[in-house]
Amino acid sequence: MTRLALIRHGRTAWNDEARMQGQTDIPLSDAGYQQLLNDIGPALNPKLAGLYWFSSPLKRARTTAGLLCGFAPPLEPRLMEMNWGDWEGKTLAALRQEPGQDLQANEDRGLDFRPTGGESPREVQHRLKSWMAEIAETRPGIAAVCHKGVIRAVMALAYNWNMMGKAPVKLGWSCAHIFDIAPDGTPHPYKMNVSVGSGFGTK
């Protein structure tokens, strides 16, 4: 069985503005880069040392991965953030004001929630499970730098959560979330909210 640690990228300007990024290729902000440099670079958790690394191909993930592991890891397109379609660059507050958008009804669909022109969490799970089946049993430990929507999709699979109601675990977005991956690509919870480095995993 392979153990997989998923880590979200560092902060971007759109994160700070509460804009939905999706697959728009936004880089880390200066503040996000500096936070990673100061908090993670000198003090990577020993539990994550020696792992085989992957990264989403989006800039914010690639830069984070390079700072974490010290080299440019292989890029995996299936680790990209959920496609938010026409909603990318918008805030939830702005979307709730748009005529014709019944956002609450859409959110109540859980795994089948779909932004206009985008993809659903269930579709994200489908592409992720194909990747996890490929990596299962290839190495004992793998780390991947990816995105909030990706980590939530894997968590939902691991806990058999339909993304309706309260999440089974409150995830810290500056932490690693670790899963055991079965040979068929099914994730199982191992340990959530593991500190990545000194300071970074405490907020």
- Which residues are part of the catalytic machinery? 9, 81
3-state SS, one letter per residue, for 10-54: CCEHHHHCCECCCCCCCCECHHHHHHHHHHCCCCCCHHHCCCEEE
3-state SS, one letter per residue, for 182-196: CCCCCEEEEEEEEEC
Q: Is 53 exposed, middle or buried (0-12, 13-18, 19+ CB in 10 A)?
A: buried
Which residues lie closer than 8 Å to 183 by C-beta, 6 or more apart?
Answer: 1, 133, 136, 137
Q: Is 175 exposed, middle or buried (0-12, 13-18, 19+ CB in 10 A)?
A: buried
Q: Is 199 exposed, middle or buried (0-12, 13-18, 19+ CB in 10 A)?
A: middle
Question: Which alpha helices (H) appear in 40-184, and where do they start and end?
Answer: 59-69, 92-97, 103-107, 121-135, 148-159
